[in-house]
Amino acid sequence: MLFYSFFKSLVGKDVVVELKNDLSICGTLHSVDQYLNFKLVDITVMDGHKFPYMLSVKNCFIRGSVVRYVQLSVDDIDVTLLQDATRKEASK
């Protein structure tokens, strides 16, 4: 549940989600659930001309199982806190 809590703390921040089909979506994280499904609002798609079907989409729900990477801004993350939480989780 560590990463679920981690992503919950990032709600409202701008993230880039890269999918397994090479689609990269930049947007504001609106919500996340236990499967790490994401809901992004106000999205823009990198290389938009390659994915014309995404042009008319503003908000989207992404299934956790198709995500390859999530890119985050360095300022949004407290690495020390993350490490501490990891140790706590490991010692349970």
Partner 1 sequence: MSQYLPGTASLLEDLDKKLMVLLRDGRTLIGYLRSIDQFANLVLHQAIERIHVGNKYGDIPIGIFVIRGENVVLCGEIDSEKEERVDLKRVDIDEILAEQKVELEAKREKEKLRLKAMQNYGLFFNADVLYLNKVKFKQIL
List of residues contacting partner 1 (CB under 8 A): 11-12, 19, 21, 23, 25, 30-35, 37, 39, 43, 52-63, 65-66
CB 2 within 8 A of CB 64: no
Distance of closest approach, residue 87 Cβ to partner 1, in angstroms: 26
Between 58 and 83, CB nearer to partner 1: 58
Give the CA angle between residues 42, 56, 50 to the nearest 5°.
100
How far, in Å, are 8, 21, 89 from residue 66 at the CA level?
19, 8, 26
First and final C-alpha spacing in the chain = 13
Between 34 and 91, CB nearer to partner 1: 34
Distance of closest approach, residue 33 Cβ to partner 1, in angstroms: 2
Distance of closest approach, residue 62 Cβ to partner 1, in angstroms: 5
